[in-house]
Amino acid sequence: MLFYDAVNPAPNPRRVRIYLAEKGLSVPSETLSIVAGEHKGAAFLEVNPLGQIPALKLDDGGVLTESVSICRLFEAMHPEPPMFGTGPRGIAEVDMWMRRAELRLMVPLAMVWVHTHPFTARVVKPQYTEFGESQRPRVTGAMREFDRALADREYLDGKSYSMADIVLLSIIDFAGFVGIAIPEEQEHLRAWHDRVSARPSAQA
Amino acid sequence: MLFYDAVNPAPNPRRVRIYLAEKGLSVPSETLSIVAGEHKGAAFLEVNPLGQIPALKLDDGGVLTESVSICRLFEAMHPEPPMFGTGPRGIAEVDMWMRRAELRLMVPLAMVWVHTHPFTARVVKPQYTEFGESQRPRVTGAMREFDRALADREYLDGKSYSMADIVLLSIIDFAGFVGIAIPEEQEHLRAWHDRVSARPSAQA
């Protein structure tokens, strides 16, 4: 097994690193430089033609991609402690919070990143900057939804730290890199962010 | 339990209906009219403040949202026949194909829908039409990735009809509604579409 990794602020490979740290698992890895374009180079495109990190090469030569799916593989191999919820409702809730983080928060954040940021301007031509800017309030609006949800709970699923918290943490920190901080008044989300950032796994 | 549903072409509630049909399950439901704006009306906003369909009201009054998460609840309650993969790798692959369908195909399709379609023009102001049009080739490009993947397999995970096929079917049919057909030369994706559309569950 070989895990293809990239350094922060890339949010997707970080999810896998945090997950592995929480589970106490260790996997051989190779770190590629996104800044140097190694994820679009010939060597890595042979591994993952989509040119996306993370990827996991399996012992039979097969390749898995998608951060959460790679973690689901490890979860099925090492179920304890459970990170994807327990029982029908717990499983559904962790999945729901992950989907909301991806679809309601990460999607508009990605649009801000791709269409307004100087870093992406080097490769994204044209940037639709007016559209990109219009997505900024959507990002803080989605943050507000999470802030409200966290008013009465320590972690997203209301039970324990889960994969949903990992996904949200990776996105919130990426938002900070893009220049969108958690608004001052979102005290529940800020307290949650302090809480999850204090876990040793957050250093991953 | 009460399932809040909406008629086609809404792709997300349809996924739950197809899933339930495949599993032979039946759940009491209420169908809301998106055209009449019932999903943004006071009555439904009390159920789901996000104003999104589908939603599932549970017997204790709790509410689950997100199409795939609702299906994961039913899957944990009724595991046979498995629709989310079996074994670590099978579970990871079904999840990976679902994520690719959502993130690589549905996201640009949603942008075309929101920013170029006359139907959404009534509520989306402003539409960023130039940006929206730029996403059209991304939709057919993502379709091509699925076309290639399906060259050597009947279903996305390479084993059997799964939730990943349901998600992709719902998106491809929604693309057709938006005016983006599967390109003629994508013969593997077209054959897959014929195959999955011939299943009785596709009428759901």
Do the chains contact at A64 and B130, CB–CB below 8 Å?
no
Our count of domains for chain B comes to: 2
Taking contacts as CB-CB distances below 8 angstroms, the residues of chain B near A63 are: none
Residue of B nearest to A107 (CA): B107
Residue A82 lies in a domain: no
CATH number at residue A50: 3.40.30.10
pLDDT-based confidence at residue B182 (cuts at 50, 70, 90) = very high
Q: Which of left, alpha, beta for B37 (phi over 0: left; psi -120 to 50: alpha)?
A: left
Residue of A nearest to B100 (CA): A66
| Model confidence pLDDT, tens digit, residues B113-159 | 999 999 898 888 999 999 999 999 999 999 999 999 999 999 999 99
Taking contacts as CB-CB distances below 8 angstroms, the residues of chain A near B163 are: none
CATH number at residue A168: 1.20.1050.10
Do the chains contact at B145 and A73, CB–CB below 8 Å?
no
**Which runs of E-coded beta strand occur in chain B?**
2-6, 29-32, 55-57, 63-65
Q: Are B120 and B170 in a shared domain?
A: yes
Q: Are B63 and B123 in a shared domain?
A: no
Residue A122 lies in a domain: yes
Q: In this complex, is the C-beta atom of A63 within 8 Å of any C-beta atom belonging to chain B?
A: no
> What 8-state DSSP symbol labels residue B202?
G
Residue A98 lies in a domain: yes
Q: In this complex, is the C-beta atom of B15 within 8 Å of any C-beta atom belonging to chain A?
A: no
| Model confidence pLDDT, tens digit, residues A153-204 | 999 999 999 999 999 999 999 999 999 999 999 999 999 999 999 999 999 9
Q: Are B33 and B129 in a shared domain?
A: no
| DSSP line for A4-27 | EEE-TT-HHHHHHHHHHHHHT---
Domain-terminating residue out of A77, A95, A129: A77
Domain of residue A63: give its range: 2-77
- Strand-by-strand arrangement of the B63-65 sheet: B29-32, B2-6, B55-57, B63-65
Residue pair B106/B170 in contact by the 8 Å Cβ criterion? no
Q: What is the mean pLDDT of residues B193-199?
A: 98
Q: Are B127 and B162 in a shared domain?
A: yes
Q: Are B196 and B166 in a shared domain?
A: yes
Instruction: For residue A18, give the nearest of A198, A175, A182, A163 by alpha carbon.
Output: A163
User: Tell me, what's the ipTM?
Assistant: 0.97
Q: What is the mean pLDDT of residues B179-190?
A: 98
The per-residue pLDDT for B35 is 86
| Model confidence pLDDT, tens digit, residues B64-87 | 999 999 999 999 999 999 999 999
Domain-terminating residue out of B77, B100, B120: B77
Q: Are B98 and B126 in a shared domain?
A: yes
The per-residue pLDDT for B4 is 97
Q: Are B93 and B125 in a shared domain?
A: yes
Residue of B nearest to A90 (CA): B73
The per-residue pLDDT for A154 is 98
Distance from CA of B49 to the nearest CA of A (A): 10
